A = this chain, B = another copy of it.
Amino acid sequence: MKKLLHLISGFIAVGVAAAPVMAGYESYEAFAETDGYALFTVNNLWILLSAALVFIMHLGFSTLEAGLCQQKNTVNILFKNVFIISMGLLTYAFWGFNAMYPGFAEDSAGIFAMGSWFGVSNDDVSLMTDEYASYTWWTDFIFQGMFAATAATIVSGAVAERVKLSSFMIFVTILVMFAYPMAGSWKWGGGWLDAKGFYDFAGSSIVHAFGGFAALASVLLLGPRKGKYTKDGKIKPILGHSMPLATIGVFLLFLGWFGFNGGSVLSADPLLVSYVFCTTGLAAASGAIGAILVSWIVLKKPDLSMALNGILAGLVGITAGADVIGMGSSIIVGLIAGALVVFAILFFDKIKVDDPVGAISVHGVCGIWGTLAVGIFSADFSVGIQLLGTLTYAIFAFVFSFAVFGLIKAVMGIRVSAEEEFEGLDVGEHGQEAYPDFSVTSR
């Protein structure tokens, strides 16, 4: 029995006991005796901590999306987020990691990359190479795996309150397993966009615009929630059920972003990491102020949802250039993002693109803005190339999602029945209520 289990797990397992093949060192033990080991250890620790910080963003997304939706769909939203982080990590292990960081062959066009099981075999463990000079192979995996799941999570908020669970699960699994790593490889894997001089520090385009435009395609296929747009052309607001949950979500996302951006330095370099902390914090702060000002003027009252989305807008906006944009400029980038997100949310609502949490505006629109801002505020990069890159990600995510989710729609449907939508997906999909002890108002 034990032998059998060893055999089974042996195919895909590698023990830590295996002596890692070190680039330029005889062994790990020999490396640990060198002067560089302490610095390597700090660098590695910071990336691991960043992975933990990005992980907590998934709790942030969960509570933000749950808070901004109706109580009758709360269990469903939470379930989707639990599923995405779990499936995201597993698919990244089985395929995504090695697809995203492929080391394209020299004669490759840098477009298509194949994935494989991330756990290298005992015979050629190469935990540290010259390329991964500041952290181990495992550190790289867990940090990037947390990123991968983020892209998929962005979609879940936009399609909330009416998407069919099984169809969504299939769609995001494909999205996070195949589409995200391939697109990511174009820049971060050293592919064709990297070769063109495109710059996206921590993923305004690669993660956020990607997720935002995948969300847009999904929403177009899905249609708006029942009752959102009346026959006589009016827009009926469908309010979120818990502003404390939404606020918890945004604060946790803000916290996690210190790892999302700060970890993207890929070392603990004191100058760069602290610089990124400052630009990130200031852009988030000015994003909130921007959204508060604009919403106060446009909507007559200072709106908490808008302030929260303003923080996220500032964060998405600074993500592409957090290490190259000046401190003062980071405030401007955030302010514009915060203003932009308010108008974008109102715009998409007007054209009847029903996005319950504003994901398309926050991640899609501000993702593009942030990528362009690198070209605008840093003399080292071209606005044209930045535009090419961000449109590439937006269009690819849109087309891929439209095709795959459209296929799923044709085969098995992507929307729950009108009765289930009215009753709520919690009971319909899960047979479970989020708050069984409380009197709730049916809407």
A62 contacts which chain B residues (CB < 8 A)? 247-248, 251
Instruction: Check A44 for interface membership: any CB of B closer than 8 A.
Output: yes
Whether A432 contacts B243 by the Cβ 8 Å rule is yes
A42-B12 Cα distance, complex, nearest whole Å: 32
Classify chain A's interface size.
35 or more
Residue of B nearest to A8 (CB): B332
Instruction: Check A75 for interface membership: any CB of B closer than 8 A.
Output: yes
Assuming A241-B435, A303-B430, is B328 touching A142 (CB within 8 A)?
no
A277 contacts which chain B residues (CB < 8 A)? 48, 51, 138-139, 142
A37 contacts which chain B residues (CB < 8 A)? 39
- Chain B nearest Cβ from A15, distance in angstroms: 5
Interface of A is mostly: helix
Assuming A48-B262, A58-B251, A82-B311, is B89 touching A377 (CB within 8 A)?
no
Residue of B nearest to A379 (CB): B6
Contact partner of A248 (CB less than 8 A), chosen from B12, B63, B307, is B63
Whether A17 contacts B324 by the Cβ 8 Å rule is yes
What 0/1 pattern do residues 51 to 70 of A give for CB contact below 8 A with B?
A: 11101101100110010001
Whether B13 contacts A119 by the Cβ 8 Å rule is no
Contact partner of A434 (CB less than 8 A), chosen from B244, B255, B440, is B244
Whether A248 contacts B59 by the Cβ 8 Å rule is yes
A324 contacts which chain B residues (CB < 8 A)? 15-17
A5-B127 Cα distance, complex, nearest whole Å: 44
Q: Which residues of A contact B (CB under 8 A)?
A: 2, 5-6, 8-17, 20, 28, 32, 35, 37-46, 48-49, 51-53, 55-56, 58-59, 62-63, 66, 70-72, 74-75, 78-79, 81-83, 85-90, 93, 117-119, 127, 135-139, 141-142, 145, 165, 239-245, 247-248, 250-252, 254-255, 258, 262, 268-275, 277-278, 281-282, 284-286, 288-289, 292, 299-305, 307-308, 311, 323-329, 331-332, 375-380, 383, 429-441, 443
